[in-house]
Amino acid sequence: MIAESTPMPISRESQSGSPAATRGTPARHAAVTALVALDTGRTTVQQAIDHADREFARGSPLSVDDRALLHELVNGVLRHRLFLDWALQQVAREQPYTRQALLRQILRVGAYQLLLLKRIPAYAAVDQSVELAKARLGPKSAPLVNALLRNLSARRHDWAMPELLRQPVEHISINYSHPPWLVKRWLKRYGVQRTIALCRANNEPAPLTIRVNRLKLDAQEFQRVLQEKGIEATLCAYAPAGLYVEHEGPVTALPGYGSGWFYVQDEASQLVPLLLAPKPGDTALDACAAPGGKATEIAELMEDRGTVTAVDRSPERLAVVEENCRRLGVTIVRTVAADATRRLPMIGPDGEPERYDRILVDAPCSGLGVLRRHPEGKWIKTARSIHDSARTASAILSNVIPLLRPGGVLVYSTCSTEPEENEEVVAAFLERHRNVRLEHPGPLLPAAAATLLTREGYLSTVLKGGRMDGFFAARMIKERGP
């Protein structure tokens, strides 16, 4: 835990800087453009980066180094945005970076390089930011950017944080760049030390985790393949088909990608279909299926025998599911464009309403358990997002339960940390549907995963150590109709 009077630890640098970063003006241009787009909340990080990359590629794709710097700058600013704004305020007489979107992002990108990317010399960070301001805002903006960033570099050891014991919300929010409303929630539930641990973990880059395709080979076999190619790979502690892979390049360059030997999926996410425990020949429904990670894992567990109905309301996202199935060699997944928050009149081959042996509801949620992968979520989610997601999840559960056969299994999961979206949704659902009961999933998981199960029998990976995202899941059994 950071001592209450300790200033911001400037040595908390990124581990992925590039020696070519000082030449990366196109990457900086693209980063600023992507960050401005992300401020609207209407695009994802990857979409914003891809669009900005195309805009500033100058007729050819960005170099590998520039592309890496682009990702570093965008994700770094998003992870540490609140601290960067606070630091800039320490050296500004007013807040020009809060009034003009483009100027605000130029200063954030410059401050991130100065304070958190030690591999980029201070003079380069300042000079490139000044040139960026000239190009994007005109020469009149250059003196302001130059003065603020030079002052920031000179005074970065002089300021003091709000004290942890006296102002815990302010200290943690600024020091670890999380919105105050969220820090308040976590402090109430977890206390100071665990809240800091959670915020710190959210600011770490997520590892590359893959699920090995059981239809083609097992995790140990693929681990040997990677190691023979000089690629370090470690078996996951809990997910039997999972590997952590040390790889800097595009995932498509890994051996076996085109042959469908693996799918990129977090270890916690890989555990959810194990709770469903589908068998060959089953009928299964994935009610919120895109992009297809869990649907294809369900098919693999079924040995590609039976049927998996993958539902999503977006035909474009269902096309991604279909492409993933083709690459992995999965043949039993059929896609259906439908909104699971409304009635799902699934019609079987005999013309009768479909009934399923297994149903997975991996519900749309606040995503507060995957902030390390989606740092923009810290700045676009609100307390209302949690309650809205809980209502959506409850509607989906009520809509799918009539489609489950008596004796069938329903698994509900989220990538949220919040009880309103997790335990409270399950409790309310069980209260409304007395023919459904909660079942402890311990026997279905590897023995090591016992530490991930709560006393009630929920799967919860939040603050459980390891390298996983924060997931929640519950296994339920329908005892009788309807």
- By annotation, the residues acting in catalysis are 415
Region of 157 on the Ramachandran plot (φ > 0 left; ψ -120 to 50 alpha; else beta): alpha
Phi, psi of 283 (to 5 degrees): -110, 125
Residues 6+ apart with CB under 8 A from 59: none
On whether the CB atoms of residues 430 and 445 are closer than 8 A, the answer is no
Q: What is the 3-state secondary structure (H, E, C) of the chain?
A: CCCCCCCCCCCCCCCCCCHHHHHCHHHHHHHHHHHHHHCCCCCCHHHHHHHHHHHCCCCCCCCHHHHHHHHHHHHHHHHHHHHHHHHHHHHCCCCHHHCCHHHHHHHHHHHHHHHHCCCCCHHHHHHHHHHHHHHHHCHHHHHHHHHHHHHHHHHCCCCCCCCCCCCHHHHHHHHCCCCHHHHHHHHHHHCHHHHHHHHHHHCCCCCEEEEECCCCCCHHHHHHHHHHCCCCEEECCCCCCEEEECCCCCHHHCCCCCCCCEEECCHHHHHHHHHHCCCCCCEEEECCCCCCHHHHHHHHHCCCCCEEEEEECCHHHHHHHHHHHHHHCCCCEEEEECCCCCCCCCECCCCCECCEEEEEEECCCCCCCCCCCCCCHHHHCCHHHHHHHHHHHHHHHHHHHHHEEEEEEEEEEECCCCCCCCHHHHHHHHHHCCCEEECCCHHHCCHHHHHHECCCCCEECCCCCCCCCCCEEEEEEECCCC
Q: How far is CA 435 from the centre of its chain?
A: 34
Parallel, antiparallel or unpaired: strands 283-286 and 307-312: parallel
Signed CA dihedral, 67, 133, 84, 7: sign only: positive
